[in-house]
Chain A
Amino acid sequence: MADSAADVVDDATLATRAADGDTTAFEMLLRRYSDRVFGLALRMLGDRAEAEDVAQEVFVTAWRRLAELAEPGAVRTWLFRIAHRHCLGVLRRRRDRRTDPVEELPETGGRAVGVGAGGVADPARVAEAGAGVEALRRALGGLPPPQRAVWLLAEVDGLSYAEIAEVVGASEQAVRGRLSRARTRLAEVMRPWR
């Protein structure tokens, strides 16, 4: 057990080396975190191409700015923080491009994740397996982006309140509040899928 633990190079070592310009160390960080960064972007944006652009931006930014990271052991949270910022930027630009006032209603404010904009599906009609998760994706798409981000980081990525606060740049108390509002809203939308 000790052997396998020691064979995996820890984040702090990789981040310090990468900050020194070690491309192999950076490559290992990229392998370790690309799926999770891409996954967060995909669930935030609901669009693979945009999520891929964000993930690429995140890692190129990380490579250029690793030397500014004061706590190399926190590289995972730091990557999520960059990803979060880029995702909110994409959503803001998306919203600014919109002219149709209907699409600015809170229910459809951030395009539904994984499906077309808006649209409430009938639970009786969507009876096949996976319908619940599709409904959740759609419900997530209807949350204000800051609530969606906090919910994903907590429930999908398993980050602690303190880590989420670090990622989104808010107090732990604010994180708890957003999470609670997201949960309430999602529970209401999900009830027909019980």
Chain B
Amino acid sequence: MALNRGRLARSGRLPCGHTIDSLWERVRSGASAVPDEHVARCRHCQTALEGLRALHAATEELAAEEVSAPPGLFDRVMRVVRTEARRGDTVPLVTGPDPASVSTTAVAAVVRFAVDTLPGQRLRARRCRVQAPPGTVDVLDVSVEVLSPSAAEWDETELRRRIAAVVSAHVGVRVRRLELDVVPLEPGEEAR
């Protein structure tokens, strides 16, 4: 196509002064584009519009194609993730001749569950740190960030009791120190 290729590719400007980008916006807005006398009569603009219309039609088709990741991808990624997660930090549950421990990640998941499911609320736990105080067994220090809709009213004592109870029931350890960092969420922010 002899459309002043080199010059056009550099500047994106047609010999008549109109830009490819402005014509593209015209094609994209379709029927709602404001009629333009110059564009209607200019052969440079008309030639460019032909290409841009063809590009627009093919682009819509390409964007509408549904591309699905291959089925094996999910399993392969999660296998790596789970293997590496198991190698994380642990805290001791019991000592003695037959010691046992639990991963901090597993305890954090239980803490988040306790926060997320506080009855009647829509709290969301985010960052959660779990540590065993040095030399102790069966006690943990926990800190958790809690996202709360700014208008929500809930009792912090109740949440603390709930976290302690759920951790005790599911992990079998006592929460010694619990740090709650409550972050207020403005309406609409949580759906981001």
Contact = CB atoms under 8 A, between A and B. Distances in A.
Contact of B48 (A8, A55, A185, A187): A187
Given A63-B84, A132-B58, A191 B77 contact: no
Contacts of A43: 62
Contact of A12 (B80, B81, B192): B192
Interface in A1-48: 5-6, 8-13, 16-17, 19-24, 26-27, 30-31, 34-35, 37-39, 42-43, 48
A190 B109 CA distance: 53
A66 B191 CA distance: 21
Contact residues on A (Cβ < 8 Å of other chain), bracket: 35 or more
B162 interface: no
Given A21-B105, A42-B67, A186 B55 contact: yes
Contact of A188 (B21, B51, B126): B51
A170 interface: no
A192 B108 CA distance: 60
A194 interface: yes
Contacts of A70: none
Interface class of chain B by DSSP:
helix
Contacts of B76: 56
A103 interface: no
Contact of A133 (B9, B12, B62, B190): B62
B112 A183 contact: no
Interface class of chain A by DSSP:
helix
B31 interface: no
A52 interface: yes
B52 interface: yes
B20 A183 contact: yes
Contacts of A21: 85, 88, 104-105, 108
Contacts of A8: 191
A188 B127 contact: no
A156 B85 contact: no
A5 B190 contact: yes
Contacts of A31: 74
Given A6-B191, A156-B63, 13 more contacts: A9-B124, A10-B191, A17-B126, A20-B129, A21-B104, A21-B105, A39-B67, A56-B76, A133-B65, A137-B62, A183-B20, A186-B51, A188-B1
Pairs of residues from A and B, 5 with the lowest C-beta to C-beta distance, nearest first: A187-B51, A39-B67, A191-B51, A5-B191, A136-B58
